[in-house]
Chain A
Amino acid sequence: MKVLVFHIGADRYGLPLRQVRRVLPLLELKGIPLAPDSVAGLLNLHGDPMPVIDLSRISGGPPSRKHFDTRIVVADYTSPEGAVHALGLMAERVQGVQDVAPQDLAPSGVQAAPFLGRVAGDAKGMVQLVEVNQLLPAELRARLFPAEAAAG
C-alpha cells in the first residue's frame, strides 16, 4: 500500500495514495472570516471553491509554516452519508510516496485524535496513517458542507 508521507510537527504521518487526487504547491488562499482556526481558507480548484484544512492546526499544534515543501494535498473526503467531496489539506514537509507493507501495520493502541489510524515502523522511525474520512468533526463538517447536512 502506497502512502504520501508528510509531517505534523516532528512526526511523520501517511495519507493512503488511493484517497489523494493530486498535490499542489502552496497557493494563495482566500481567508474565511469567523471560520474555525483549523480552516486555512478557500482554494479555487478549476473554478470550484474547495475548503483547505490545516493539518497541523487541527492536530492542536501551531499553524503550518510556509516552507518550500509545504504543500496542499487534494484528498477525497467521503462523508458518512456517502457523498464524496474534494478537501484540501495543508501539510508540512511533504517528502514523497512510500510503500508500506500491510503486514507491517499495527494498531497504535492509544486512543487519541479520531482520524489517526494504524502505525508502521521502518528505518527512519514510525509512520502513522491518517483517515481522511474521520478528519472532520460533525460540527465542522456541518459548516463546510452545509447543503449535504440539510439534505441528510
Chain B
Amino acid sequence: MNNLSIKNKLYIGFGSIVAIILLLLITAYNNFASLTDANRWDRHTMEVLLQIDRINSVSLQIQVDTRGYILTGSEALIGTERENAEQLKQHVAKAVQLTADNPQQNERLKRAQALLTTWADVNIRRQIEKRRALGDAKGAAEILGQSSELKEAGAIVASARELLDQATEEERRLLAERSAKAVDLHSSQNALLLGGGAVVFVVSLLIAYALGRVIMGPLANLTAALARLGSGDQVARIVVTSGDELGKVSEDFNKMAQQLQDATQREQAQTNELRAKVDSLLGVVARAAGGDMTGKISVGGEDAIGQLGEGLQRMFDNLRQLLTNVQKAGIQVTTSATEIAASAKQQEATGVEQAQTSVEVLSTTKEISSNTSQLLKTMEDATAVADYTTSATSEAQGNLRRMDQTMQNMVNATDSINAKLAALSEKASNINSVLTTITKVADQTNILSLNAAIEAEKAGEAGRGFSVVATEIRRLADQTSVSTWDIEQMLKEMQSAVSASVMGMDKFSEEIRRSVGEVRQVTDQLSGVMDQVQKLAPQFDAVLQGMQAQAVGAQQITETMMQLNDATQQTVESLKATSEAVHQLQYAAGDLQSSVSTFAVNA
C-alpha cells in the first residue's frame, strides 16, 4: 500500500466507493423487478376473477331467461339464448386459457367448462323444447316446474357454480399470498436503501480519512525536516516509509541534506589542516632559533604553505649538513691526534722492548753455542749405535732364512705322512671286506653245525660221535664269530684313529704354512729396517756439519744484536719529541669540537 503512487491510491479510494454504490443500485433494481412481477401476477388473478364473475352472470342470465320463458312462454325472452350460450362458452374458454399456468385451477375450470357446455347446449335446450311443445296449455309452467329436466339442469349448474366458487376461492387465496409477499419486498427495499446509503456514507468517510493520512503524513514529515534544516540542524533526515512520489521527494531531500553536511565537514577539515601546518612550521622554526636543528618539517604540497615549508626544510637541511661536516672534521682531527699519540707511545714501548729482546737474544745465542757442542758428542754416539744395529739386523735376516727353509721341509714331511695315512685307510677297508667274508663263512658254519647236530640226533645212537663233532664245529664257528667281531672293532678304532691323524696333520700343515708366511713377513720387515738404518749414517754426518755452521752463525748474531741495540736507543729519543707535538694538536682539536657542539644536528 505504501509503495503505490498517489494517483493509484486515489483511484483505489474512489473506485471502491463507486463499486459499493453500483452494488447497491443493482440490488435495488432487482428488488424493483420482483415488485413489478408481483403486480403483474395480481393483475392476472384479477382477470381470472373477472372472467369467473362474467361466467356466473352469463349463466344466471341464461337461467333467468329460461325460467321467464317457462313461466310466460314468451319467445322474446329466449331470443338472446343462443348468443348468451356463445358468450358463456367464450368466457369459460378464456378462463381456462388464463389458468394454464396453474394445473389444479385449470382442471377445475375444464370440468366446469364441460358441465356448463352440456348444460347450455343440452339441458336448457330440452327445457325450451318441452315448453314449446306444451304451447299455451294450462298448467304448462307447473308441469315444467315439476319436470325432471328442470331439476337435472339445476343440479348441473349448481355443481358448476360450486367448482367456480372453489376456483374463485383459490384465486383469492393466491392473491392474498402475493399481496403479503409484495409487502415484504417493499419493506426489504426500504431497508436496503436505508442501510446501503449508511454503508456508502461510512465507507466513503473511512477512505477519505485513509487517503488523507497516506498523503498528508509524509508531507508533514517533509515540512518538519525542511524547517529543522533551515534552522541549521544538519543531521535532520526524513524516515522514508512509502514508495510513492512523496517517498522519492523524501529520499532526494535526504541526499541533499547529506551533501550539505559533507561539504561543511570538508571545509572544517581543511581549515584545521591549514592551522596544524602553520603550527608545525612555527614549532620547528622556534626550535631552530634555540639552536636545535633536529626539527623536521612535515608540511608539503603545492600551496603557499607547502612551498614555504619545503623552502624552510631545504634551508635547515643545508645548515645541518654544514654543522655536521664541521663536527665530523673536529672529531676526525681529535681521533687522528689521539691515534698518533697512541702509536708514538706504542713505538716507544716497542723500542724499549727491542732493547730487552736484544739482550735476551744475546744470552740465548751463547746457550746455543754450548748446546751445539754437547749435541755433537751425542750424535757421534748415535752413529755408532746405528752401525751396530745394521750388523745385528743382517744376522737376524740370515737366521730367518734358515728357519723358512726348515718350515718348508716340515710341510713336505707332513704331506708325505698324509699320503701314508691315506694308504693305511685303504688297507683297513680291504681288511673290512675280508672280515665280511669270514663272518659269512662263520655264520654258514654255525647253521651247518646245527643241521649236523639235528641229523646226528635223528641217527640216534649211531650219530652220537657225529653229534660231538657237530658241537665242536659249532664252538669253532662261534669262536670265529667272536674273533671276527673283535677284529672288526679294532679295525674301526684304527680307522677312526687314522681319520683323526689325517685331520690333525691337516691342521698342523695349515699352521706351518701360516708360520712360514709370518716368518717371511718378519724377514721383509727386517730388510726394510736395515735399509733405513744404513741410510741413517750419512744423515748423521750432515747434521754434524750443520751444527758446526750453527755455532759460527751464533757468534755473528751476537755482534749484529749489539749494533741493533744502539739504533733502538736513538729511535726512542726521537719518539718522545713526536709525542710532545701530538699533545698540543689534541688540545686544539678539543677546543674546535666544544665550540661546534652547541648546535644539535642529529635527531
Contact present for A97 and B471 (CB under 8 Å): yes
Cα–Cα distance between A2 and B460 once the two chains are bound (Å): 11
Stretch at the interface among B77-85, B420-428, B446-454, B530-538: B446-454
With contacts A2-B457, A25-B443 taken as known, whether A96 is within 8 angstroms of B474 at the C-beta atoms is yes
- Per the bound structure, the CA–CA distance linking A17 and B450 in Å amounts to 10
Neighbouring B residues of A25 by C-beta, 8 Å: 443-444, 447
Chain B contacts of A97 at CB under 8 A? 450, 453-454, 457, 471, 474
Closest to B448 in A: A23
Which chain A residues in 1-48 approach chain B with CB under 8 Å?
Answer: 2, 4, 17-18, 20-25
Q: Is the CB of A96 within 8 A of B457?
A: no
How far, in angstroms, from A131 to B458 measured CA to CA in the complex?
A: 18
The verdict on A93 contacting chain B, using a C-beta distance below 8 Å, is no
Residue pair B454, A17 in contact (C-beta under 8 Å): yes
Q: Which residues of chain A are within 8 angstroms of B446 by Cβ–Cβ distance? A: 69, 96
Tier of interface size on chain B = 10 to 19
State the CA gap A68–B471 with chains docked (Å): 20
Contact with A along B470-483 (1 / 0, CB 8 A): 01001000000000
In the bound complex, residues from chain A placing their C-beta under 8 Å from that of B443 are: 25, 68-69
Q: Describe B's contact surface by its main secondary structure.
A: helix
22 intermolecular pairs with C-beta atoms under 8 Å apart: A4-B450, A4-B454, A17-B453, A17-B454, A17-B457, A18-B457, A20-B454, A22-B454, A23-B450, A23-B454, A25-B443, A25-B444, A25-B447, A68-B439, A69-B443, A69-B446, A94-B450, A96-B449, A96-B450, A96-B453, A97-B453, A97-B471
Instruction: Report the bound CA distance from A74 to B104 in whole Å.
Output: 154
Residues of chain A contacted by B458 (CB below 8 angstroms):
18
Docked complex: A36-87 residues within 8 A CB-CB of B: 68-69, 71
Whether A23 lies near B447 (C-beta < 8 A) is yes
Contact of B451 (CB < 8 Å), options: A2, A23, A69:
A23
The 6 closest A-B pairs by CB, nearest first: A23-B450, A17-B457, A97-B453, A22-B451, A20-B454, A2-B457
Q: A2 contacts which chain B residues (CB < 8 A)?
A: 453, 457
Whole-angstrom CA separation of A96 from B449 in the bound complex: 9
Within 8 A of A (CB), among B489-545: none
Taking the closest CB of chain A, its distance from the CB of B357, in whole angstroms, is 111
Taking residues whose C-beta sits less than 8 angstroms from the other chain, chain A's interface range is 10 to 19
Chain B hits for A21, CB < 8 A = 454
Measured CB to CB, the closest approach of chain A to B44, in angstroms, equals 139
Complex CA–CA separation, A142 to B449 (angstroms)? 35
- Taken together as a complex, chains A and B put the C-alpha atoms of A2 and B471 apart, in Å, by 12
CB distance from B182 to the nearest CB of A (A): 138
**Chain A nearest Cβ from B257, distance in angstroms:** 129
A24 touches B471 (CB 8 A): no
A4 CA to B449 CA, complexed, in Å: 12
A18 to B455, CA, bound (A): 9
Please give, as numbers and ranges, the residues of chain B lying within 8 Å of A96 by CB-CB distance.
446, 449-450, 453, 474
CA distance A2 to B439 in the complex (A): 27
In residues 405-447 of chain B, which contact A (Cβ within 8 Å)? 439, 443-444, 446-447
In the complex, chain B residues whose CB is within 8 Å of the CB of A22: 451, 454
User: Which residues from A are CB-within-8-Å of B439?
Assistant: 68
Q: How far is the CB of B114 from chain A (nearest CB, A)?
A: 139
Q: Which residue of A lies closest to B442 (CB)?
A: A68
Please measure, in the bound complex, the distance between the C-alpha atom of A71 and the C-alpha atom of B451, giving whole angstroms.
12
Q: Least Cβ distance of B439 to chain A in Å?
A: 8
State the Cβ distance, B488 to closest chain A Cβ, in Å.
Answer: 13
Contact between A24 and B447 (Cβ–Cβ < 8 Å)? yes
Expressed in whole angstroms, the Cα–Cα distance for A133 and B433 within the complex equals: 43
Q: How far is the CB of A152 from chain B (nearest CB, A)?
A: 28
Enumerate chain A residues within 8 angstroms of B447, measured Cβ to Cβ. 23-25, 71
Q: Given the complex of chains A and B, what is the CA–CA distance between A24 and B454 in angstroms?
A: 12
Q: State A68–B445 Cα separation when bound (angstroms).
A: 13
Q: Which of B443, B446, B450 has the most CB of A within 10 A?
A: B450
Cα A66 to Cα B471 with chains together (Å): 25
User: A21 to B458, alpha carbons, bound, how many Å?
Assistant: 9
Nearest CB of chain A from residue B225's CB, rounded to whole Å: 131
C-alpha gap A97/B439 in the complex (Å):
21
Which chain B residue has the least Cβ–Cβ distance from A2? B457
B436 to chain A, nearest CB (A): 11
Chain B residue with the shortest CB-CB distance to A22: B451
Chain B nearest Cβ from A6, distance in angstroms? 11
Chain A residues whose C-beta falls within 8 Å of the C-beta of B457 in the assembled complex: 2, 17-18, 97
Residue in chain B with minimal CB distance to A18: B457
Q: Write out the residue numbers on chain A whose beta carbons fall within 8 Å of the beta carbon of B453.
A: 2, 17, 96-97
**A4→B457 CA distance, assembly (Å):** 11
Q: When chains A and B are docked, how far (Å) is the Cα of A146 from the Cα of B57?
A: 163
Q: Could you say which residues of chain B place their CB within 8 Å of the CB of A94?
A: 450
Could you tell me the distance between the alpha carbons of A96 and B453 in the complex, rounded to whole angstroms?
Answer: 9
Interface centre among B439, B449, B457 (most CB of A within 10 A): B457
User: A4-B454, A25-B444 given. 17 additional CB < 8 A pairs?
Assistant: A4-B450, A20-B454, A21-B454, A22-B451, A22-B454, A23-B447, A23-B450, A23-B451, A23-B454, A68-B443, A69-B446, A96-B450, A96-B453, A97-B450, A97-B453, A97-B457, A97-B471
Counting chain B CB atoms within 10 Å of each CB, the highest count among A17, A69, A94 belongs to A17
Report the nearest B residue to A20, measured CB to CB: B454
Contacts of B449 in A (CB 8 A): 96
Q: Closest approach, in angstroms, between the C-beta of B96 and any C-beta of chain A? A: 138
CB interface residues, B 126-170, toward A, < 8 Å? none
How far is it, in angstroms, between the C-alpha of A25 and the C-alpha of B451 when the chains are bound? Answer: 11
